[in-house]
Amino acid sequence: MRAAFIEELGPPGAIRVGEVPDPVPGPGDVLVDVEYSAANHVDTFVRSGAWRTPVEFPFVIGRDLVGTVVSAGPSAPGFSPGDRVWSLSMGYGGRQGACARRAAVPADRLYHLPRGAAPEDAAALAHPAATAHLALFVHGRMRPGETVVVVGAGGNVGGALVSLAAGAGARVVAVASARDADHVRALGAAAAVDYRAPDAAERTARACGGGADLYIDAAGRNDLERAMALLARRGRAVLLAGMATRPVLPAGPLYLMDRTVTGFAISQATVPELAEAARHVGGLAADGRLRPRRREVLPLAEAAEVHRRLEAGEGAGVRFVLRTDGDAGRAR
């Protein structure tokens, strides 16, 4: 079958597009005809070796997919040929990836695509919106009525954070560029702060009023001194990006006010956590309440170029989706 794959860890140029053996599903797997697969920053970490995870060469890249069931193993109940499905956890942990014409997906990592969810949008939303769900509700323990600060609110994960938090009853203070102010307000932010403003910290503090209950940094700046200054008593800071940052941890303000700092990566999420994230995100996508800000649908042959663009910083606010069953690309 045709796939985007690597035969060794390396730069984007290591990606090849060509023929690899068809997947051989096990009894607990579902064989899926893949239509779309998104490209994520974490895919570049796996491909380059920056994040070590078991891979078997030739290794098909990519973790998110939308497609149609071909067959289901005897230990994969609930799926039938022709079912529309999606997944967001292939391509790491010893599993081959999704940038291929077909994939053998463990049944517990595969979900029915809700009726009404556009397949391109579902592929684009899978990783950033599931990350946002986990950050808010699993690691951030967000409750309705709380004040949530989102740093990097104009990006893919940041926008999903704003939308999901506001939709769940939080008051959201979005920190983003000035050009993103209208966008984050449209997503539900109560206040938008330009991170480049000289008094950005003061503006954010004023917008929080009595302090932030939850502070999530989707931009990878990880300024913990600023976070501690914003958090209320028993406030929580969640870090999910910025692998190379080494911030100063203000221990005094942290423990004197019962505050916490939590780091997480979606790749460490449990199977039940991923399933709940997919249920939530899929429902919002089907209802039209969650959509990618911008997506580009490109042919599979562009896989290496897409990885290059991601590493060059061209993925801010746009989701790259690879079409695996044809070469027609389009943008929205």
- Give buried/exposed letters for 68-82 (b at 16+ CB in 10 A, else e): bbbebbeebeebeee
* pLDDT score at 83: 98
Per-residue pLDDT reduced to its tens digit, 205-243: 999 998 999 999 999 899 999 999 999 999 999 999 888
Q: 2-113+294-331, which class in CATH?
A: alpha beta
- Whole-number Å distance between alpha carbons of 162 and 183: 10
The residue behind tokens 């060509």 is: 18
**DSSP SS3 for 256:** helix
Query: In the structure, what pLDDT confidence band is assigned to residue 19 with cuts at 50, 70 and 90?
Result: very high
Per-residue pLDDT reduced to its tens digit, 277-322: 999 999 999 998 999 999 999 999 999 999 999 999 988 889 999 9
Query: In the structure, what pLDDT confidence band is assigned to residue 328 with cuts at 50, 70 and 90?
Result: very low
Which alpha helices (DSSP H) does the chain contain, by range? 41-48, 119-133, 156-167, 181-186, 200-208, 224-230, 251-256, 271-286, 303-311
Q: Which of 79, 78, 57, 60 is nearest to 70 (CA)?
A: 79
- Whole-number Å distance between alpha carbons of 326 and 33: 12
* pLDDT score at 329: 46
Pick the CATH number of 131-267 from 3.40.50.720, 3.40.50.1820, 1.10.150.130, 3.30.565.10: 3.40.50.720
* pLDDT score at 245: 84
User: Backbone phi, then psi, for 219, in 5-degree steps?
Assistant: -95, -15
Per-residue pLDDT reduced to its tens digit, 160-204: 999 999 999 999 999 999 999 999 999 999 999 999 999 999 999
Per-domain residue ranges of the chain:
2-113+294-331, 131-267
Considering the chain, what is the average pLDDT of its residues?
Answer: 95
Q: Which of 329, 326, 332 is nearest to 298 (CA)?
A: 329
Six-digit token string for 49: 């070796």
